[in-house]
């Protein structure tokens, strides 16, 4: 707020408004740009393609931006644009037009380098004639990447790259390592390191805006048991305590049948993002070997069949899915091979 008052007073004094990016007072639109795609693989080496690595990293960066619930200076969260989300070719001018036409505040391009197996390390670019805001963003991206990865520092640089030159907003392009280097490729192609890199891009952006780095303060876990609020099922799901493997006091049992009579766990999630979903049942030889859990994720419902004759009395992974904030559901259908039982006990969501 002090930043805004100062800017207002400067304007009132008739001075020229300089940049006010530090402590931005409105939600900021960030355009993430995964390089290459489709017919253009970018660099190749070590059995990897640049277009794949940078898309994976960029999608993880988008997730971090969407997960970050810290104060971004009045907006409450970032508004995220991304030049591609799948393996498609997007022209350089198409990338610039997209960012320009959608009013992006920052443009952040992610690439891997390649140089005949003979170079390694990271470097970050801004447009040669770019402004100090671009240089600051570039420097922060470079610093945070270096802090995250033990790769060779090659420096902050300038270049006349198309996407840096023809975007109207502050822009940087990060070369996250050499795909054809035996040293770097184990990082750039690795999902965990892609995620760490993605987080470092968020931290760079936050420092660039004068904000604290976001880290999830505590694990977000939402558990719904069969006898707590959030559980619903018809009377055909009968209460049982026969097995000692129950979560909480008991569980519910229903004979399998070719009919729609699913039990539903509804979890009220505090924020959108990726959640690991797990289910708990008590096992037994009369259980279904293909109990159909239906996860109603943001991208659509996904059915995950689990063998309830095994692994009872513990959390069993159904997968990690994207969900919006608020009520989200997992259902257990009884519509599978007849002659068995499906067991409805507990489901939990853990934010990733
Ligand atoms: Zn590239």
Return the SS3 of 258: coil
The rounded mean pLDDT for the chain is 88
- Comparing 16-30, 171-185, 327-341, which segment has the lowest mean pLDDT? 16-30
* DSSP string of 153-164, one letter each residue: EEEEEEE--HHH
Please report the pLDDT score of residue 207 as a whole number.
Answer: 93
CA distance 220 to 242: 32
pLDDT at 304: 94
Beta bridge partner(s), residue 252? 239, 344
Q: Is residue 2 over pLDDT 50?
A: no
Residue 271 has pLDDT above 50, yes or no: yes
The yes-or-no answer on residue 175 being catalytic is yes
The rounded Cα 36 to chain-centroid distance in angstroms is 20
Quote the ligand 1 centre to 133 CA distance (angstroms).
23
Cα–Cα distance for residue pair 56/50, rounded to 1 Å: 10
Question: Cα of 204 to ligand 1 centre, how many Å?
Answer: 20
Kindly state the helix (H) or strand (E) to which residue 111 belongs, with its residue range: strand 106-113
Q: Measured in angstroms, how far is the CA atom of residue 113 from the centroid of ligand 1? A: 6
Band (pLDDT 50/70/90 cuts) for residue 70 is: low
Q: Measuring CA to CA, which residue among 285, 277, 266 is closest to residue 326?
A: 266
Q: Which pLDDT band holds residue 13 (cuts at 50, 70, 90)? A: very low
| 90 CA distance to ligand 1 middle (Å) | 13
Give me ligand 1 centre to Cα 218, in Å: 36
What number is the average pLDDT over the span 292-297?
97
How far is it, in rounded angstroms, from Cα 294 to Cα 299? Answer: 13
pLDDT at 69: 60
Q: How far is the CA of 52 from the centre of ligand 1 (A)?
A: 11
The class (CATH top level) of 221-351 is: mainly beta
| Contact assessment for residue 37 and residue 95, using Cβ atoms and an 8 Å cutoff | no
The pLDDT tens digits for 206-254 are 999 988 888 765 567 898 999 888 999 999 999 999 988 888 889 999 9
> How many angstroms does the Cα of residue 19 sit away from the middle of ligand 1?
30
Token output for 93: 């001018």
pLDDT in tens, 299-319: 999 999 999 999 888 778 898
Q: What is the CATH number of domain 26-208?
A: 3.40.630.40
CATH 3.40.630.40 residue ranges in the chain? Answer: 26-208
Please give the average per-residue pLDDT across 282-290, as a whole number. Answer: 96
The set of residues, in sequence order, having a beta carbon less than 8 Å from that of 78 and lying 6+ positions away, is: 27, 28, 29, 30, 65, 66, 68, 72, 205
pLDDT of residue 219: 62
Helix (H) or strand (E) holding 121: none
Mean pLDDT of 128-145: 97
Q: Which of 50, 144, 172, 175 is catalytic?
A: 175
CB-based contact 324:272 (threshold 8 Å): yes
Structure confidence at residue 282 (pLDDT):
93
User: CATH 2.60.120.260 residue ranges in the chain?
Assistant: 221-351
Q: Name, in order, each residue with C-beta under 8 angstroms of 314's C-beta and a sequence gap of 6 or more.
A: 280
- Give residues with Cβ within 8 angstroms of 73, minimum separation 6: 23, 24, 25, 26, 28, 209, 210, 211
Q: What tens digit of pLDDT does each residue of 158-207 get?
A: 999 999 999 999 999 999 999 999 999 989 999 989 999 999 999 999 99
130 with 171: CB under 8 angstroms? Answer: yes
């Amino acid at each position: 707020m002090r930043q805004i008052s100062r800017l207002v007073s400067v304007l009132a004094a008739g001075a020229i408004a300089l940049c006010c990016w530090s402590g931005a007072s409105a939600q900021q639109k960030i355009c993430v740009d995964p390089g290459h795609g489709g017919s253009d693989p970018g660099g190749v080496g070590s059995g990897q393609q640049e277009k794949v690595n940078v898309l994976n990293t960029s999608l993880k960066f988008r997730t971090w931006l969407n997960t970050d619930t810290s104060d971004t200076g009045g907006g409450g969260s970032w508004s995220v644009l991304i030049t591609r989300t799948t393996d498609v070719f997007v022209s350089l001018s198409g990338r610039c037009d997209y960012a320009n036409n959608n009013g992006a505040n920052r443009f952040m391009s992610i690439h891997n380098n390649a140089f005949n197996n003979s170079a390694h390390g990271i470097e970050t670019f801004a447009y040669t004639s770019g402004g100090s805001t671009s240089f600051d963003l570039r420097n922060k991206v470079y610093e945070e990447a270096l802090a995250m990865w033990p790769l060779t520092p090659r420096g902050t640089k300038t270049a006349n790259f198309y996407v840096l030159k023809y975007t109207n907003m502050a822009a940087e392009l990060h070369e996250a390592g050499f795909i054809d280097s035996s040293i770097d490729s184990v990082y750039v192609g690795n999902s965990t390191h892609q995620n760490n890199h993605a987080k470092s891009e968020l931290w760079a952006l936050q420092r660039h805006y004068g904000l604290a780095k976001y880290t999830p303060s505590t694990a977000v876990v939402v558990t719904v048991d069969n006898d707590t609020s959030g559980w619903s099922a018809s009377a055909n799901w009968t209460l049982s305590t026969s097995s000692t493997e129950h979560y909480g006091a008991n569980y519910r049992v229903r004979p399998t049948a070719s009919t729609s009579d699913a039990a539903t766990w509804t979890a009220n999630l505090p924020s959108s993002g990726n959640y690991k979903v797990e289910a708990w049942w008590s096992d037994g030889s009369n259980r279904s070997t293909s109990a159909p859990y239906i996860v109603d994720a943001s991208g659509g419902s996904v059915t995950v069949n689990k063998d309830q004759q095994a692994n009872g009395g513990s959390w069993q992974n159904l997968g990690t899915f994207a969900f919006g904030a608020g009520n989200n559901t997992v259902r257990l259908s009884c519509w599978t091979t007849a002659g068995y039982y499906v067991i409805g006990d507990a489901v939990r969501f853990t934010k990733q």
